């Protein structure tokens, strides 16, 4: 590469050159210069934290056709290409030097080969375009949690989305000085056709863990292009492992207990298992719905929301089930709708919105009408099933006042959830931290449904709901979580929840809002307000406590019959679950710590002992100590 300073002076006008030079960081300057030399943009725009720069990006997104203005003020829509509607797992890879290994199940490519390939796609990709150089901060600014990030892209949509999702970071880089400890992202849409990425067969998302650098090309979909989201989570997991903290795929919310008490919970749930709806429970407050960083300080465990916005699935968001989100999506404010249906009045529509869909409109497939099919004869739904919205949490009426606190919030509890029709009770507290991490966290399964994959009841393993994003060996990741509680005086209680338990007729045993009761009971347990019943796998609620919660919080009666049906201990199913998960670890995770197998063995013995005494299906009343 030519002299860095000379190249920057040549390509940047004086205003933007001075903006970049105000950040006295040689690694940053070299990163920008390399991206310029590689992609060859016509112009370069360096963004600061000023509102004027964010407004410029918004206007560029409209001017270039990446977003269109909608009827409601501040709302815009965007369409990804028909074949660019989700994260590309196959082409999301780690760049690994020869002789290195990340262990089991992690998708990687030789670093030299992969770097040459993706940089070949990036070569001259911004000819005739403007490069945007943006600065953001993961976590609150001026905090021990802060991670500075530099995002380079030719997509105003990407820059606009990240300005909603992440805190501004230009001033953070001023404080960083000449440190090399920051994340870097380079993205290009590649060649466009009808304003969408044309060469999706050349879509690549490659991550260099040694350099904390991500390349993304020939894609527009947020999960592949928003560098600070799940791509940065992968970088952060490795960084956390080296530095002794945790980066987790978790929501953070405040559960409101008696006498104005607020207890903070973090929770990990696979997709479609109730994660966002839990973080948005009525009467509670949200800090974040997706990614959390956890650190220890003064014998306590603290966490923050990495983001300040939500990039959420819009399907089934309606005024009954998601009133707070629905209000934000239907009133003036900054919102980007992705891959929904837009009618002739420039109004967005999506599946499960609670209102009737129009007969025709524009969507990700182009002009759409009811009954439209694709070239394979499949129905083209009005709105894509993975359609999204992007909004700022500050625009929600239930935002928690500590959302930007640089200290984070002290964790009282951690919740793990999955989709399970026949095994786990609606809520259960682990005996201790180790059992919580292993029996609740590393054992998460999520059942498929007939509506999505054509075969109901197939259980997908997803430890800690973080399997897709791990950048360290699975065994190391588990051990990090186990060790993290060392030195914490009051460890957070660990819970499992299951919103999807069914009876023999296939009907759900829980109503949608029942999850509020399970979280409020967990809040009471964390604070020692209620006793519990000991089972072979943890502690479950006493009937009278749930009866009071249902009456006081939902104004509903809760019968003993409901309680027994929901909280019966299903021993054969629990044993089968242990066998399934243990088999995965034995066959696929060579680095799994021995304590995992010991914990499984102890739980298996307790279950069998309980079965010998009470039978295979045990009423919670049979376990009450006389």
Burial of 152 (0-12, 13-18, 19+ CB in 10 A): buried
Query: How far apart are alpha carbons 83 and 90 in whole angstroms?
Result: 14
Active-site residue list? 273
Would you say 521 and 541 are in contact if contact means Cβ atoms under 8 Å apart? yes
Q: How far apart are CA 233 and CA 259, in angstroms?
A: 37
Q: Give backbone dihedrals phi and psi of 467, rounded to 5 degrees, phi first.
A: -60, -40
Q: How many CB atoms lie within 10 A of CB 367?
A: 9
Residue 596 burial by Cβ neighbours in a 10 Å radius (0-12, 13-18, 19+): buried
Widest CA span in the chain: 83
Strand, helix or coil for residue 134 = strand
State whether residue 158 is helix, strand or coil: helix
DSSP string of 346-359?
S-EE-TTSSSPPPS
Please name the residues in contact with 53: beta carbons below 8 A apart, sequence gap of 6 or more: 47
Beta-ladder partners of 48: none
Give the C-alpha separation, 328 to 392, whole Å. 9
The H-or-E segment that residue 198 falls in is none
Contact 257, 530 (CB under 8 A): no
Q: Read off the DSSP letter of residue 464.
A: G
Task: Tell me how crowded residue 572 is: count the other CB atoms within 10 A of its CB.
Answer: 13
The C-alpha atoms of residue 69 and residue 222 are separated, in whole angstroms, by 19
| 418 phi/psi in degrees, rounded to 5 | -140, -170
């Amino acid at each position: 590469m030519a002299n860095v300073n000379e190249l920057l002076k040549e390509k940047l006008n004086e205003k933007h050159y001075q903006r970049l030079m105000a950040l006295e960081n040689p690694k940053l300057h070299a990163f920008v210069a390399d991206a310029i030399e590689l992609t060859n943009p016509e112009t370069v725009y360096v963004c600061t934290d000023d509102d004027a720069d964010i407004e410029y990006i918004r206007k560029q997104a409209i001017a270039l056709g990446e977003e269109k203005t909608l009827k409601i003020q501040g709302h815009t829509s965007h369409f990804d290409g028909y074949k660019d509607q989700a994260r590309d797992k196959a082409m999301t890879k780690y760049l690994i030097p020869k002789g290195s290994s990340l262990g089991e199940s992690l998708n990687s490519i030789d670093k030299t080969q992969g770097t040459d390939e993706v940089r070949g796609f990036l070569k001259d990709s911004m000819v005739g375009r403007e490069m945007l150089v943006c600065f953001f901060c993961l976590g609150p600014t001026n905090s021990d949690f802060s991670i500075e990030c530099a995002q380079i892209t030719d997509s105003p949509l990407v820059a606009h989305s990240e300005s909603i999702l992440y805190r501004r970071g230009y001033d953070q880089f001023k404080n960083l000085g000449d440190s090399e400890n920051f994340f870097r992202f380079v993205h290009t849409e590649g060649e466009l056709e009808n304003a969408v990425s044309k060469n999706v067969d050349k879509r690549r998302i490659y991550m260099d863990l040694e350099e904390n650098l991500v390349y993304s090309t020939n894609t527009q979909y947020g999960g592949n292009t928003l560098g600070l989201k799940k791509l940065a989570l992968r970088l952060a997991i490795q960084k956390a492992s080296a530095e002794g903290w945790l980066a987790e795929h978790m929501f953070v919310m405040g559960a409101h207990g008696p006498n104005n008490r607020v207890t903070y919970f973090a929770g990990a749930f696979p997709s479609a298992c109730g994660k966002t709806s839990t973080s948005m429970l009525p009467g509670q407050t949200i800090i974040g719905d997706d990614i959390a960083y956890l650190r220890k300080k003064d014998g306590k465990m603290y966490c923050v929301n990495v983001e300040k916005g939500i990039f959420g699935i819009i399907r089934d968001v309606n005024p009954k089930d998601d009133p707070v989100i629905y209000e934000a999506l239907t009133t003036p404010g900054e919102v980007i709708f992705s891959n929904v249906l837009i009618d002739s009045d420039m109004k967005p529509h999506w599946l499960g919105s609670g209102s009737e869909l129009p007969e025709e409109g524009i969507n990700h497939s182009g002009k759409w009408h009811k009954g439209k099919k694709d070239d394979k004869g499949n129905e083209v739904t009005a709105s894509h099933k993975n359609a999204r919205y992007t909004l700022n949490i500050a625009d929600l009426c239930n935002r928690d006042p500590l959302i930007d606190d640089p200290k984070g919030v002290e964790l009282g509890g951690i919740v793990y959830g999955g989709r399970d029709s026949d095994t786990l009770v609606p809520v259960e507290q682990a005996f201790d931290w180790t059992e919580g991490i292993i029996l609740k966290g590393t054992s998460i399964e999520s059942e498929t449904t007939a509506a999505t994959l054509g075969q109901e009841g197939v259980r997908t393993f997803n430890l800690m709901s973080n399997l897709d994003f791990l950048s360290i060996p699975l065994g190391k990741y588990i051990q990090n979580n186990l060790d993290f509680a060392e030195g914490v005086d009051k460890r957070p209680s660990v819970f499992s929840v299951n919103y999807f338990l069914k009876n023999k007729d296939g009907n759900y045993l829980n109503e949608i809002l029942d999850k509020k009761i399970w979280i409020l009971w967990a809040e009471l347990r964390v604070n020692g307000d209620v006793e519990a019943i000991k089972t072979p796998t943890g502690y479950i609620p006493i009937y009278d406590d749930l009866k009071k919660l249902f009456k006081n919080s939902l104004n509903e009666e809760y019968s003993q019959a409901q309680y027994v049906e929901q909280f019966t201990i299903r021993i054969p199913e629990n044993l089968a679950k242990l066998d399934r998960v243990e088999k995965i670890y034995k066959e696929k995770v060579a680095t799994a710590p021995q304590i995992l197998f010991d914990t499984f063995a102890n739980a298996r013995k307790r279950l069998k002992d309980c079965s010998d005494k009470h039978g295979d299906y045990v009423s919670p009343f049979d376990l009450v100590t006389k």
